[in-house]
């Protein structure tokens, strides 16, 4: 605790508030009349709210995980030179649908044919080597 008092402190303690003069009130009134009108204040407030909303949207956009786009709106480019005949020789929906319309057994036969073509032939040396690796991969 400090009990030290100076003259200045004693003078300050004696100070009392002086009532404001009429001139002061006049000056305050003039200042208030010069301030922005109500409409302008509203515009400022609207601008503030809009800025806040925009900020919220930006933050939401940054945090949000983009939705899963399962399928592109456009498919493959037009087949052009790939004829309907050729489409039937590929694993296409057209080829399968055609066989399924005959019978489901026919469709199964087509799958077997295609699968045989897609797996490497036994006389393929690389495939033979790979099969050894398959054995090494056993857990």
**What does the binding site for other proteins look like in residue numbers (CB under 8 A)?**
45, 48-49, 52, 55-56, 59-60, 62-63, 70-76, 78-79, 82-85, 87-88, 90-94, 96-98, 100-101, 104, 107-108, 110-112, 114-116, 118-122, 127-128, 130-131, 134-135, 137-139
| CB-CB neighbours of 109 under 10 Å | 13
Rounded to whole angstroms, how far apart are CA atoms 34 and 31?
5
Which of 27, 106 has the CB closer to other proteins? 106
Q: How far is the CB of 33 from other proteins (least distance, A)?
A: 21
Which of 27, 55 has the CB closer to other proteins? 55
Which of 26, 130 has the CB closer to other proteins? 130
Q: Assess contact for 106 and 100: CB atoms under 8 A.
A: yes
Q: How far is the CB of 74 from other proteins (least distance, A)?
A: 7
Q: 3-class DSSP state for residue 96?
A: helix
Residues whose CB is less than 8 angstroms from the CB of residue 136 and which lie 6 or more positions away in sequence, other chains included: none
Q: DSSP label at 120? A: P
Tracing tokens 């609207």 back to the chain, one arrives at: 46
Rounded to whole angstroms, how far apart are CA atoms 129 and 71?
38
Q: How far is the CB of 119 from other proteins (least distance, A)?
A: 6
Q: How far is the CB of 62 from other proteins (least distance, A)?
A: 8
């Amino acid at each position: 605790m400090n009990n030290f008092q100076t003259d200045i402190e004693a003078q300050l303690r004696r100070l009392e508030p002086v009532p404001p003069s009429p001139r002061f009130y006049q000056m305050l009134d003039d200042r208030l009349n010069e301030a922005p009108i109500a409409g302008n204040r509203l515009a400022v407030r609207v601008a503030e709210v809009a800025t806040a909303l925009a900020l919220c949207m930006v933050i939401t956009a940054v945090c949000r995980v983009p939705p899963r786009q399962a399928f592109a709106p456009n498919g493959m480019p037009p087949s052009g030179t790939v004829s309907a005949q050729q489409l039937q020789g590929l694993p296409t929906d057209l080829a399968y649908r055609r066989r399924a319309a005959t019978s489901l057994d026919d469709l199964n036969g087509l799958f077997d044919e295609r699968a045989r073509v897609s797996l490497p032939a036994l006389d393929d040396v690389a495939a033979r080597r790979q099969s050894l690796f398959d054995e090494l991969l056993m857990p």
